[in-house]
Structure 1
Amino acid sequence: MEEKRLNTASILGVHFHAVTMEQAVDLAMSRLRARQQGYVVTPNPEIVDLCRRDSAFMGIVNHATLVLPDGIGIIYAAKILGETLCGKVAGIEFAENLAAAMAREGMRLYLLGAKPGVAEQAGANLCAKYPGLVLAGTHDGYFTDAQEAVEAINACGGADVVFVCLGAPKQEKFIADNMEDIHATLFCGLGGSLDVFAGVAKRAPDIFIKLGLEWFYRLLKQPSRIGRMMKLPLFLLTVIRERLFGGRGK
């Protein structure tokens, strides 16, 4: 499945690929086998808002090999705007499905990000769950010089895939600035996924995820997130204004 044939949905200037989870993983694996370098981003409403405020970041996101709709807010926005998406493709679920596919072909994964020790535990857990997956190496996200991380990845002999978990927009900018110097094929910006893979943090129960209420579960667990959660209704109001007025009056 070639990315040039993929349909896209434009949400406030961010061009999401209209793919299912299976299609996303198949495309990623095709690029890995062909050794075609690229990167995957997983924008949610907060990241779309960052893109609207930072044109350089918008360009990085829109030039990704895959732009996956991570968050029910993106799906709601597509419906409001009359755009077509195949459904939510959560970054952490994409990462796990990709790891499973990589394991079947003995591919190498490098984990970059989180607090010291977290990436190592995440890697151990993923390799235990998916026999055949090779952990090329790990590095925490607490580096001040990007060259340090670049050299660490290259020193281990490189990797097929690098999960870059530094938070947005840092992770996407790191990928765009450094990928040509790193001996790896595919880079995936995945936020706090390593904490979940390591067992440091937990996702919402399946019922919340299926109902599109993962954000509500997070709010119940951490009421202090209320400020961040208020961004979702504001995002949807911006989308409605875009639909009604074509973005006039921004």
Structure 2
Amino acid sequence: MGLPVHRLQDYDRWLGNRLQQNLGCHVVTLNAEMVMQAECNPTLASSIRQAELVVPDGAGVILYLLLHGIRQQRCPGIELAESLLRQAGELGESYPVFFYGGKPGIAQTAAKIWQEQYPKLAIAGIEDGYLSPEAEDQFKVRLAKEQPPLILVGLGVPRQELWIAQNRHLCPQAIWIGVGGSFDIWAGVKSRAPVWLRNNHLEWLYRLYQEPWRWRRMMALPQFALKAIGQRLA
């Protein structure tokens, strides 16, 4: 559908190596909803195509690959971000992490919980996702000055992907990854789907149960599936 998916056996190790070598990259965790948004948003599509790593996050992307005879294991974005945090926690003060996004107080709680698990984890800074234009400008100056090697951006799709693409030049050696609502889960505000739902590619159903207001956005899933099947038949 005009977007890349990078097929690796070990995304964690690939990103861990880049983190230690100070090789910056933009990580996109691709799902069906994002693909359908990109069809209507050329700027989003361009941001995804320019990313150094696009992982198959959603079940729809896995289905698309399977229809084309490609078996690829799903890589949930939250688990990839957790792997990076664990690696940064083991590396210590030389690899501080910046948490950006979420409602006021959520990112702080998430960072605190991570530091309790990994006392060596260094926090470069924390900002919520409700900054005024003036505060955001000051935040960008701070990023450019501090150059954190790992930046987690939880602004939701597509805002986080667009924001990273526009601002990654501020820290060219950093790994930037959009983490969606991961801060809420780490902070204990929300929970992930049970393992059996995840293993059966039904995590989206649990999310709809938690956030029924998302039903309109979830309509992208059957639209994506129909288009994927139609392309395969064509």
What's the CA shift for 1:27?
1.4
Contact 1:150/1:182 (<8 A) preserved: no
What's the CA shift for 1:65?
1.6
Contact 2:28/2:51 (<8 A) preserved: yes
Q: Equivalences for 1:45-84 in 2 at 5 Å?
A: 45-82=32-69, 84=70
Normalising by the residue count of structure 1, what TM-score does the alignment of the two structures yield?
0.85
What's the CA shift for 1:85?
4.8
What's the CA shift for 1:91?
0.5
1:195 is aligned to 2:184: yes
What's the CA shift for 1:229?
2.5
What is the match of residue 5 of structure 2?
16
Distance 1:50 1:183, change over 3 A: same
Equivalent residue in structure 1 for 2:163, among 147, 163, 174:
174
Which of structures 1 and 2 has the larger relative contact order (alpha carbons within 8 angstroms, sep 6+)? 2
The 3-state SS of whatever aligns with 1:50 is helix
Structure 1 moving runs of 4+ over 6 Å: none
Q: What amino acid sits opposite 1:149 in the alignment?
A: F
Contact 1:19/1:85 (<8 A) preserved: no
Give me the whole-angstrom Cα distance separating, in 1, the residues matched to 2:47 and 2:213.
31
Give me the whole-angstrom Cα distance separating, in 1, the residues matched to 2:71 and 2:8.
7
Give me the whole-angstrom Cα distance separating, in 2, the residues matched to 1:162 and 1:44.
21
Q: Equivalences for 1:137-156 in 2 at 5 Å?
A: 137-145=125-133, 146-154=136-144
Equivalent residue in structure 2 for 1:127, among 89, 110, 115:
115
The 3-state SS of whatever aligns with 1:15 is coil
Contact 2:156/2:180 (<8 A) preserved: yes
1:39 is aligned to 2:26: yes
What 5-or-longer segments of structure 1 have no aligned partner? 1-11, 246-250
The 3-state SS of whatever aligns with 1:68 is strand
What is the match of residue 136 of structure 1?
124
What 5-or-longer segments of structure 2 have no aligned partner? none
Normalising by the residue count of structure 2, what TM-score does the alignment of the two structures yield?
0.91
Q: What amino acid sits opposite 1:94 in the alignment?
A: L
The 3-state SS of whatever aligns with 2:4 is strand
Give me the whole-angstrom Cα distance separating, in 1, the residues matched to 2:204 and 2:164.
27
What is the match of residue 221 of structure 1?
210
